[in-house]
Amino acid sequence: MTALGGSYPGHPMLLGIPVTVATAMLLGTVIATIRLSTGSVWAAVAAHPRRAGGI
């Protein structure tokens, strides 16, 4: 869905892919920092973003 521009409707597909990768890298760094600083996986789980309708 992301590769087809689904995450950023109304924007060019060539913009959506790099923005998605950059966002994932940023959030991954934040979640990894939370995991390492707390020593608990549950803090990172709580910080993980969820999509509407996801589990």
Residue 54, in any domain of the structure: no
- Checking if the pLDDT of 51 tops 70, the result is no
Task: Give the pLDDT confidence of 10-46 residue by residue, as tens digits.
Answer: 777 777 778 878 888 998 898 899 999 999 999 888 8
pLDDT of residue 8: 66
Residue 52, in any domain of the structure: no
Residue 30, in any domain of the structure: yes
Non-local CB neighbours of 34 within 8 Å, separated by 6+ positions: 43, 44, 47
pTM: 0.66
Which is more confidently placed, 11 or 53?
11
Residue 55, in any domain of the structure: no
pLDDT of residue 54: 45
The total domain count for the chain is: 1
* CA–CA gap between residue 55 and residue 40 (Å, rounded): 21
User: Which residue range forms the structural domain that includes residue 24?
Assistant: 2-6+14-47
Residue 33, in any domain of the structure: yes
